[in-house]
């Protein structure tokens, strides 16, 4: 709904709230931490500080949308034609043009207004409510987040979204996930003590920030800022401020010419913005330029009309000029474009993609690079225990797991722990394979197995072995042995997460810290859940030492149910746990932890980390001197966490989405490069990137400089100057520890290489890059409001795979836009040729007689052409749409092929209709052009009116049949799909495939007959009359037109015109194309040499830099 811009004022403090004690904060805000604000204080603070809403929320201005539609370039051109019509007192034509303008404006306004309403509804996905303490009530009250004001006492529990910036005064094992602000995926443990000195957002650990998620514990705090005063609001404000263009200053102190120069440039900016020449997508700007070029052409043609008539500008001459002006303008283009995009927008909504900006559909088809966040986009955003190493036993691996919370998804296998560097063996093996494959290729595929590389090294499993090793059923796991039981008890009990099966929902649910959820789910796989151990087995908790970010570990003390022994369970970072351990193993396998054992633990930790896993150590100790519960609470932590026995290591990771690998492969097949820009650890980022195919698994065959540039940290990338970045052989495919500024620099570097970039993201830290990217794609479920407002598209399912569907739809839209733009402009070119040459047809008064009346032109342009154009906009994607490189955004819709087709087809169409007019008037009519036949009907105008009717019918049919021809710009209308084998003559099947287009051609083709004969409409409005034998002449032009188009298409295919000189022959081996890329090829395919440094899926023209790889 429409609304006013939100006005907010931030509270002022003597110091930043995180530097003050919570009582000082309460005093300065006038609140009571025990009773909260009174109702009167709430009302006063609401009036003083405003509502808790970011600027722009819920604000949709119909007037701005309406002005945007009216200021459209094509509409402005039509305004001139309308004014000229009314100026000549031709009210019928003026009224028709007015209706055309109104139709275009209404359609565009309605579609864009609905799109904005859809986006506004998405904002309800975040921060919907808050638990506040007010009016001295004992219990908190849950209210919408909007009415929250500074001074409110807020209660936060696991799963809450923090509604405002809060200064905490109570925190019980409390942690919040601040990735939405900082990009760091690990929850931040909070404290309540004041912090000295200036600190960054990530180090203000006594604050909870708006939009962040509570992952552990509970807390209470005082709201210190809302809306635009929060950290999220600060980023939103920065997003809304536009960078000033250079040389726009009007300050005379810097230069005496500044007022003149700056004012002139500002005026030009305003005019360019109003006319659509300097803002908008490439298609918008090109259509704006086209409109003004056509407007210029219309003026030129009007001058020609006046000159031919010796500047005797009578009413008839003015009408002829208007006719030419209308003929050169594709009046229905804007309406067709808007409706086609709106239909595409609705189709994308069904595929979980909400189009925030309607014009982004056009831009999607030209995307060459996608810069994506990892967490929650390419991955599930949930931690999973993937491996567990138990000394002396081996490695337990979770296989084929499809859910982070379901313990029955996938199965567990037990394998031996690696004892050598398998990666080195794999690299040696792959190097030999590559050499052999290159030799095979050079010897014309003479496959002779090399005995030296026939067998893969023992430590490197073959694909067949891998398949055998991963066989199993969901829920299967090895036998539980004492060593595993001890490990499971520790991971389950030293854990605050909850995992349970929801009977109503029929699914597993979990709450708590992602790391603890992962460990708890792993324990549940063996039926060792914490709830069962406590409630059924009888384990009793005596004490808890929560996770401390300083020591990076957590411990609990439990009493064993059988013998009453007290056991300390500890988990944490390996380097922090190993130094506290005296022993390693369990039961009979316990051994003193000597240096050799420590080296083995570190080696196993490194092997796990290299696989992208976050590694935790699990330990325990049996208490020799039992204590009571209250005694443990006073027992020093350092005396608890000592003399431990290491039970093993747990490797956790954020698993890729199941669709991500295929989606990346599809992107690469489509010539789109995917870059992962993440705040994660470099090892984790590389492992995930390898797993989903962003980078090759083996860098050994890459040139050294390419391999070094493929993966970087943000520190390495940011240390480079722009010139150094431009000199890199390839821009990084993976950047780890990525900051918001790094993402923006990456996008700018890609733009400098001529790339068209899409950026995906969900957090506030992604918003600047979303805005800077050519296409910004935000997440709807886990994304922030700031990210959504900065983006062009919003994914409602947060799934990277949906982007592939969006790109495909974008390409389909672009192809179809080309088709219907060609369809509309060809008719305009044909009409202009007919009318310009028609200037030579002069009556007794030496006035030109137009072969087509102005309203005949409007009828054809609006009623005849529009519906087939809509039909072309609904064409299905071709089978090869995602097997070709992105189209050039520089050329846009108006490629050389489109321009050539427009002129050739327009010339054929104009020639056919002109010849028809000449035959009727000069062949059968004896050259009788009558007198004043441009303005009214008389018996002496009968020949001219019959000729117009003949031309009108023929032109209608030619335009309609061209719609079927333009279903493909290169293939014959009689065989649109050359790969089709089920029919020898598929013409009828192909044209009926698009039913809307089929009937949009058939119905107008039939309806042209009554239009010729309807009294009043024919002679007074359209200025033609009934015909007889001329019907044969009208029909005769159709096969001539088809032959001309088919001949031109054949020449394009045969000589490879507009296709890089390559013939359009059908490649029967197209399915074996190696465009998929060296790092995502199937195992059965041989590796190709990448010495040319071509990592894209499709050969593309080399850029001016002589380098196609980015």
pLDDT in tens, 1045-1069: 999 999 998 888 887 666 666 544 3
Reported in sequence order, the residue ranges of 601-756 that DSSP labels E, i.e. its strands, are 614-622, 644-653, 673-677, 711-713, 734-736
**What is the pLDDT, as a whole number, of residue 5?**
47
Q: Phi/psi class of residue 853: alpha, beta or left (left: φ > 0; alpha: ψ in -120 to 50)?
A: beta
Q: pLDDT by residue (tens digit) across 616-646?
A: 999 999 998 888 877 887 788 888 999 999 9
Q: What is the DSSP letter of 838?
A: G
Tell whether the model's pLDDT for residue 1079 goes beyond 70.
no
**Sign of CA pseudo-dihedral 534, 535, 539, 541:** positive
Burial 841-867, CB ≥16 within 10 A → b, else e: bebeeebbbbbbbbbbbbbbbbebbbb
- Please state which of the ranges 538-547, 850-859, 896-905, 1055-1064 shows the lowest mean pLDDT: 1055-1064
* 1107-to-699, 1004, 1094 alpha-carbon distances in Å: 20, 51, 9
Burial 8-38, CB ≥16 within 10 A → b, else e: bebbebeeebbbbebebbbebbebbbeebbe
Q: What is the DSSP letter of 359?
A: T
Q: Work out the number of other CB atoms within 10 angstroms of the CB of residue 552.
A: 14
Percentage helix, strand, coil for the chain under 3-state DSSP, each rounded to 5: 50, 15, 40
**Distance between the two ends of the chain, CA-based, in angstroms?**
44
When mean pLDDT is compared over 10-19, 330-339, 676-685, the highest value belongs to 10-19
Based on its alpha-carbon atoms, the radius of gyration of the chain, rounded to whole angstroms, reads 36
Tell whether the model's pLDDT for residue 128 goes beyond 60.
no
pLDDT band at 438 (very low <50, low <70, confident <90, very high): very low
When mean pLDDT is compared over 223-232, 972-981, 1091-1100, the highest value belongs to 223-232
CA 922 to CA 927: how far, in whole Å? 4
Q: pLDDT by residue (tens digit) across 287-298?
A: 777 877 887 888
Tell whether the model's pLDDT for residue 175 goes beyond 80.
yes
H or E, element range at 369: strand 369-372
The full DSSP string for 1069-1095 is TGGG--TT-TTS--TTSPPPP-TT---
Tokens coding 179: 């990735």
Tell whether the model's pLDDT for residue 951 goes beyond 90.
yes
Q: pLDDT by residue (tens digit) across 989-1036?
A: 889 999 999 999 999 999 999 999 999 888 888 889 999 999 999 999
Put simply, whether the predicted model's pTM sits higher than 0.95 gets the answer no
- Please state which of the ranges 37-51, 214-228, 318-332 shows the lowest mean pLDDT: 318-332
CA 882 to CA 885: how far, in whole Å? 8
The chain-wide mean pLDDT, for the chain, equals: 80
Tell whether the model's pLDDT for residue 61 goes beyond 90.
no
Q: Nearest CA to 283 among 812, 899, 893, 757?
A: 893
Overall size of the chain counted in residues: 1110
Contact criterion met (CB below 8 Å) for 147 and 46: yes
Tell whether the model's pLDDT for residue 702 goes beyond 60.
yes
Contact criterion met (CB below 8 Å) for 743 and 678: no
CA 961 to chain centre: 37
pLDDT band at 457 (very low <50, low <70, confident <90, very high): very low
Contact criterion met (CB below 8 Å) for 161 and 127: yes
Average pLDDT over residues 156-170: 87
Phi, psi dihedrals of residue 54, rounded to the nearest 5°: -70, 150
Coil, strand, or helix at residue 896?
helix
Tell whether the model's pLDDT for residue 893 goes beyond 60.
yes
The full DSSP string for 113-143 is HHHHHHHHHHGGGS--EEEEEBTT-SS-EEE
Burial category of 447 from C-beta neighbours within 10 Å (exposed 0-12, middle 13-18, buried 19 and up)? exposed
Angle between helices 333-350 and 73-87 (to 10 degrees): 150
Average pLDDT over residues 72-79: 69
CA 791 to CA 963: how far, in whole Å? 35
Contact criterion met (CB below 8 Å) for 94 and 72: no
Name every residue whose Cβ is closer than 8 Å to that of residue 156 and which is 6 or more positions away in sequence. Answer: 131, 162, 166, 174, 208, 214, 218, 219, 220, 221
**What is the pLDDT, as a whole number, of residue 284?**
67
pLDDT band at 271 (very low <50, low <70, confident <90, very high): confident
Average pLDDT over residues 404-408: 90
Tell whether the model's pLDDT for residue 272 goes beyond 80.
no
Average pLDDT over residues 728-753: 89
Q: Where in the sequence numbering do the catalytic residues fall?
A: 373
Q: pLDDT by residue (tens digit) across 458-489?
A: 444 433 333 344 578 888 999 999 999 999 99
CA 438 to CA 535: how far, in whole Å? 64
CA 292 to CA 71: how far, in whole Å? 13
When mean pLDDT is compared over 87-91, 278-282, 333-337, 503-507, the highest value belongs to 503-507
Average pLDDT over residues 797-819: 86
Tokens coding 296: 């210029």
**What is the pLDDT, as a whole number, of residue 1081?**
37
Average pLDDT over residues 418-438: 52
H or E, element range at 440: helix 422-442
Burial category of 570 from C-beta neighbours within 10 Å (exposed 0-12, middle 13-18, buried 19 and up)? buried
**What is the pLDDT, as a whole number, of residue 1018?**
86
Q: Nearest CA to 966 among 1065, 818, 811?
A: 818
Choose between 494 and 544: higher pLDDT: 494
Tell whether the model's pLDDT for residue 446 goes beyond 80.
no
Tell whether the model's pLDDT for residue 449 goes beyond 70.
no
Average pLDDT over residues 216-234: 87
CA 807 to CA 668: how far, in whole Å? 12
**What is the pLDDT, as a whole number, of residue 125?**
40
Average pLDDT over residues 149-177: 87
pLDDT band at 848 (very low <50, low <70, confident <90, very high): confident
Q: pLDDT by residue (tens digit) across 1036-1049?
A: 999 999 999 999 99
Reported in sequence order, the residue ranges of 636-761 that DSSP labels E, i.e. its strands, are 644-653, 673-677, 711-713, 734-736, 757-761
**What is the pLDDT, as a whole number, of residue 801?**
83
Tell whether the model's pLDDT for residue 654 goes beyond 90.
no
CA 585 to CA 619: how far, in whole Å? 9
Coil, strand, or helix at residue 1106?
coil
Q: pLDDT by residue (tens digit) across 136-157?
A: 876 678 887 888 999 999 988 8
Coil, strand, or helix at residue 167?
strand
Tell whether the model's pLDDT for residue 32 goes beyond 50.
yes
| Percent of the chain topping pLDDT 90 | 31
| Percent of the chain topping pLDDT 70 | 82
**What is the pLDDT, as a whole number, of residue 267?**
81
Q: Work out the number of other CB atoms within 10 angstroms of the CB of residue 801.
A: 22
**What is the pLDDT, as a whole number, of residue 943?**
92
The full DSSP string for 331-389 is TTHHHHHHHHHHHHHHHHHHTTEEESSTTHHHHHTT--EEEE-IIIIIB-SS-EEEEEE
Contact criterion met (CB below 8 Å) for 89 and 821: no
Tell whether the model's pLDDT for residue 279 goes beyond 70.
no
**What is the pLDDT, as a whole number, of residue 422?**
47
**What is the pLDDT, as a whole number, of residue 57?**
52
**What is the pLDDT, as a whole number, of residue 6?**
47
Contact criterion met (CB below 8 Å) for 726 and 709: no
């Amino acid at each position: 709904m429409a609304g006013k811009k939100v006005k907010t004022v931030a509270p002022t403090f003597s110091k930043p709230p995180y530097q003050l004690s919570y009582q000082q904060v309460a005093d300065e805000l006038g609140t009571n931490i025990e009773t909260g604000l009174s109702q009167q204080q709430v009302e006063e603070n609401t009036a003083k500080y405003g509502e808790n809403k970011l600027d722009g929320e819920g604000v949709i201005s119909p007037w701005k949308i309406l002005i945007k539609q009216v200021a459209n370039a094509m509409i402005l051109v039509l305004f001139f034609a309308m004014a000229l019509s009314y100026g000549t007192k031709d009210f019928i034509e003026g009224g028709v043009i007015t209706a055309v303008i109104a139709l275009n404006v209404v359609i565009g306004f309605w579609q864009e207004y609905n799109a904005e309403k859809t986006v506004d509804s998405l904002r309800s996905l975040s921060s919907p409510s808050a638990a506040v303490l007010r009016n001295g009530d004992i219990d908190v009250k849950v209210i919408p987040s909007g009415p929250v004001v500074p001074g409110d006492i807020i209660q936060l529990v696991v799963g809450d979204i923090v509604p405002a910036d809060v200064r905490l005064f109570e925190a019980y094992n409390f942690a919040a996930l601040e990735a939405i602000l900082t990009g760091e995926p690990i929850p931040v443990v909070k404290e309540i003590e004041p912090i000295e000195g200036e600190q960054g957002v990530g180090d203000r650990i006594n604050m909870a920030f708006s939009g962040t998620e509570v992952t552990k514990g509970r807390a209470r705090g005082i709201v210190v800022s809302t809306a635009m005063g929060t950290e999220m609001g600060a980023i939103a404000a920065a997003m809304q401020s536009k960078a000033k263009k250079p040389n726009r200053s009007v300050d005379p102190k810097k230069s005496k010419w500044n007022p003149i120069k700056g004012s002139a440039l500002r005026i030009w900016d305003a005019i360019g913005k109003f006319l659509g020449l300097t803002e908008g997508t490439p298609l918008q700007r090109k259509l704006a330029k086209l409109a003004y070029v056509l407007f210029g052409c219309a003026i030129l043609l009007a001058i020609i009309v006046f000159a031919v008539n010796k500047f005797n500008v009578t009413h008839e001459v003015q009408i002829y000029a208007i006719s030419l002006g209308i003929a050169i303008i594709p009046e229905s283009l804007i309406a067709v474009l808007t409706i086609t995009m709106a239909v595409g927008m609705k189709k994308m909504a069904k595929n979980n993609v909400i189009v925030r900006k309607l014009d982004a559909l056009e831009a999607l088809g030209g995307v060459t690079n996608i810069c994506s966040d990892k967490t929650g986009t390419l991955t599930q955003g949930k931690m999973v225990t993937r491996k567990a190493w138990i000394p002396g036993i081996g490695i337990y691996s979770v296989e084929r797991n499809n859910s982070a919370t379901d313990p029955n998804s996938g199965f567990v296998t037990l394998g031996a722990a690696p004892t050598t560097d398998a990666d080195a063996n794999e690299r040696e093996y792959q190097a030999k394979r590559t050499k052999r494959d290159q030799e095979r290729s050079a010897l014309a595929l003479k496959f002779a197995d090399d005995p030296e590389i026939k067998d893969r090294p023992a430590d490197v499993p073959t694909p067949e072995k891998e398949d055998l090793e991963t066989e199993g059923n969901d829920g299967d796991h090895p036998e539980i042995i004492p060593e595993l039981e001890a490990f499971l008890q520790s991971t389950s009990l030293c854990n605050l997460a909850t995992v349970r099966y929801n009977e109503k929902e029929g699914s597993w649910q979990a709450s708590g810290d992602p790391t603890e959820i992962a460990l708890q789910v792993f324990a549940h796989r063996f039926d060792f859940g914490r709830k069962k151990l406590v409630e059924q087995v009888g384990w009793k908790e005596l004490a808890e030492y929560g996770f401390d970010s300083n020591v990076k570990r957590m411990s609990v003390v439990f009493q064993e149910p059988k013998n009453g022994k007290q056991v300390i369970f500890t988990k944490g970072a390996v380097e922090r746990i190993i130094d506290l351990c005296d022993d390693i193993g369990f039961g009979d396998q316990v051994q003193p932890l000597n240096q050799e054992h420590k080296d083995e633990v570190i080696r196993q930790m490194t092997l796990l980390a290299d696989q992208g896993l976050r590694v935790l150590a699990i330990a325990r100790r049996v208490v020799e001197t039992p204590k009571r519960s209250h005694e443990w609470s006073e027992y020093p932590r350092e005396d608890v966490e000592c003399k431990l026995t290491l039970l093993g290591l747990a490797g956790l990771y954020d698993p890729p989405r199941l669709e991500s690998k295929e989606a990346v492969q599809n992107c690469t097949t489509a010539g789109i490069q995917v870059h992962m820009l993440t705040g994660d650890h470099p090892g984790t980022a590389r492992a995930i990137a390898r797993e989903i195919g962003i980078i090759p698994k083996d860098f050994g065959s890459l040139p050294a400089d390419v391999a070094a540039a493929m993966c970087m940290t943000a520190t390495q990338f940011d240390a480079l100057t722009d010139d150094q970045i431009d000199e890199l052989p390839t821009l990084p495919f993976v950047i780890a520890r990525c900051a918001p500024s790094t993402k923006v620099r990456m996008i700018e570097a890609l733009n400098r290489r001529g790339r068209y970039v899409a950026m995906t993201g969900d957090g506030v830290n992604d918003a600047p890059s979303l805005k800077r990217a050519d296409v910004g794609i935000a997440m709807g479920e886990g994304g922030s409001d700031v990210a959504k407002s900065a983006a062009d598209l919003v994914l409602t399912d947060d799934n990277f795979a949906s982007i592939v569907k969006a790109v495909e739809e974008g390409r389909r839209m672009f192809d179809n836009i080309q088709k219907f733009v060609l369809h509309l402009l060809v008719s305009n070119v044909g009409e202009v040729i007919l009318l310009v040459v028609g200037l030579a047809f002069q009556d007794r008064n030496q006035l030109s007689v137009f072969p087509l009346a102005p309203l005949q032109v409007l009828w054809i342009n609006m009623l005849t052409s529009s519906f087939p154009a809509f039909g072309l906009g609904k064409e299905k994607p071709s089978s090869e749409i995602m097997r070709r490189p992105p189209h050039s955004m520089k050329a846009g819709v108006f490629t050389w092929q489109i321009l050539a087709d427009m002129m050739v087809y327009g010339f054929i169409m104009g020639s056919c209709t002109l010849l028809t007019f000449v035959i009727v008037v000069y062949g059968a009519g004896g050259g009788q052009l009558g007198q004043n036949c441009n303005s009214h009907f008389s018996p002496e105008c009968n020949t001219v009116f019959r000729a117009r009717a003949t031309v009108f019918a023929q032109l209608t049919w030619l335009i309609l049949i061209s719609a079927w021809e333009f279903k493909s710009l290169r293939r014959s209308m009689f065989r649109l799909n050359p790969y089709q084998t089920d029919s020898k003559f598929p013409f009828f099947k192909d044209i009926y495939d698009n039913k809307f287009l089929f009937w949009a051609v058939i119905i107008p083709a039939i309806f042209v007959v009554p239009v010729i004969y309807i009294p009043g409409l024919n002679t007074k409005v359209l200025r033609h009359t009934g015909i007889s034998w001329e019907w044969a002449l009208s029909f005769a032009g159709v096969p001539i037109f088809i032959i001309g188009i088919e001949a031109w298409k054949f020449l394009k295919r045969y000589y490879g015109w507009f296709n890089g000189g390559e013939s359009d022959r059908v490649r029967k081996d197209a399915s074996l194309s190696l465009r998929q890329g060296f790092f995502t090829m199937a195992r059965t395919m041989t590796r190709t040499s990448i010495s040319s440094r071509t990592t894209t899926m499709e050969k593309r023209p080399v850029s001016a830099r002589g380098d196609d790889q980015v």
